[in-house]
């Protein structure tokens, strides 16, 4: 028995180009092609040689060529949609940051608690089971009331008040607690960077702001800002995963950071997140020979004009920590654009 297919084969012979042309109206060439086919020979006793896989290959080859031929329009549409979504997310982020900046400026005493709130939401992550992490679970009363979260209620209240305002102007749905808690930490740590620059200028706010703009780390937040679209969990994370930082030994802190994939360097740079008194925390960390060199490195960095090593390493570490166990939805907070009916426009 002989079976033949037109324009489809399980074993494609070379594709023979007929003509390729590019017009000024299109960025993509149109390629015409001929697909040559072989006959598939099968006798009556061995018909099972004509496998389903072969037929699917034939069909796939034809469809694939058609998609390649007509992909230009789809690519252009996808690029345009992607740009619109990026702009929507970027505008929304700017509004979120403005809201948080104002809230923190009015409540500067809550900054250390905002940092610990973010860290403790992160540190429920369990590497083995890939559960927990920055999922907003700390918002639940049964979790915020745990011993390791003592003193963090005011920080959570600030986040909740900011969320109400942000949700009121969001066009793409309510912001998740998991995103907002990490963005509150970003705003808080930026505030400490700016405050350090102002101190170096003798308390002159204008000069300090110029110093931070010129030499600061604002340009290093790109990857953090792209990690935007975390999903909230609907239940508290398991107990016993987060140490009480103010009572933990350095070894216990090291063990916890190691359990989520980080070492002494990251522990040292995150010292501001481990309690209200960063100086006292660093004095404790410096008693450990593995952590001491990193504490000294970041203390020296904070004495420089730009604080480059300290700020860049902190941003890098926070960015990695704040995505542990999360599947980021890169289309979160986007929304459809209303179509304009040009027939109703009066010219």
- What DSSP letter does each residue of 78-118 carry, written as one string? HHHHHHHHHHHHHHHHHHHHHHHHHHHHH-GGGHHHHHHHH
Size (the chain), residues: 347
Q: Which residues, including other chains, have CB under 8 Å from residue 272's CB and lie 6 or more apart?
A: 112, 115, 189, 192, 278, 281, 314
CA–CA gap between residue 67 and residue 246 (Å, rounded): 60
Q: Which residue has the tokens 């369990």?
A: 126
According to the model, what pLDDT value does residue 301 have?
97
Distance CA 217, CA 308 (A): 7
Ramachandran assignment for 151, one of left (phi > 0), alpha (psi -120 to 50 degrees), beta (any other): left
pLDDT (tens, 9 = 90+) of the chain, 347 residues, equals 444 434 344 444 444 444 444 444 444 444 444 444 444 444 444 444 445 555 545 555 554 545 545 555 545 555 667 899 999 999 999 999 999 999 999 999 999 999 999 999 999 999 999 999 999 999 999 999 999 999 999 999 999 999 999 999 999 999 999 999 999 999 999 999 999 999 999 999 999 999 999 988 988 999 999 999 999 999 999 999 999 999 999 999 999 999 999 999 999 999 999 999 999 999 999 999 999 999 999 999 999 999 999 999 999 999 999 999 999 999 999 999 877 666 666 66
- The β-bridge relationship of strands 30-34 and 2-3 is unpaired
Q: Which residue has the tokens 């107990």?
A: 239
Contact 150, 191 (CB under 8 A): no
The whole model's pTM is what? 0.77
pLDDT at 59: 52
Q: For residue 337, what pLDDT is reported? A: 84
């Amino acid at each position: 028995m002989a079976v033949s297919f037109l324009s489809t084969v399980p074993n494609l012979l070379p594709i023979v180009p007929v003509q390729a042309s590019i017009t000024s109206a299109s960025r993509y060439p149109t390629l015409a092609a001929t697909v040559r086919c072989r006959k598939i020979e099968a006798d009556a006793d061995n018909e099972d040689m004509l496998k389903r896989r072969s037929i699917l290959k034939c069909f796939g080859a034809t469809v694939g060529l058609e998609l390649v031929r007509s992909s230009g329009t789809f690519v252009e549409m996808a690029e345009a949609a992607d740009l619109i979504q990026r702009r929507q997310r970027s505008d929304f982020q700017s509004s979120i940051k403005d809201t948080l900046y104002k809230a923190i400026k009015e409540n500067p005493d809550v900054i250390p608690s905002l940092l610990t709130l973010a860290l403790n939401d992160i540190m429920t992550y369990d590497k083995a089971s890939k559960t927990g992490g920055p999922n907003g679970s700390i918002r639940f009363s049964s979790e915020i009331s745990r011993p390791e979260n003592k003193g963090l209620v005011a920080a959570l209240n600030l986040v909740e008040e900011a969320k109400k305002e942000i949700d009121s102007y969001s066009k793409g749905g309510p912001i998740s607690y998991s995103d907002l808690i990490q963005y509150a930490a970003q705003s808080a740590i930026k505030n400490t960077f700016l405050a350090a620059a102002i101190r170096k200028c003798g308390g002159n706010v204008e000069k300090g702001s110029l110093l931070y703009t010129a030499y600061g780390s604002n340009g290093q937040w790109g990857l953090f800002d792209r990690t935007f679209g975390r999903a909230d969990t609907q239940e508290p994370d398991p107990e016993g995963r987060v140490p009480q930082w103010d009572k933990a030994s350095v070894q216990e802190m090291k063990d916890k950071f190691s359990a989520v994939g980080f070492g002494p360097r990251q522990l040292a740079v995150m010292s501001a997140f481990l309690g209200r008194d960063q100086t006292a925390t660093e004095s404790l960390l410096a008693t450990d020979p593995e952590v001491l060199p990193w504490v000294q490195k970041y203390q020296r960095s904070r004495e420089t004009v730009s604080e480059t090593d300290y700020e860049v390493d902190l941003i890098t570490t926070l960015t990695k920590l704040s995505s542990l166990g999360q599947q980021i939805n890169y289309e979160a907070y986007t929304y459809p654009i209303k179509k304009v009916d040009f027939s109703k426009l009066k010219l």
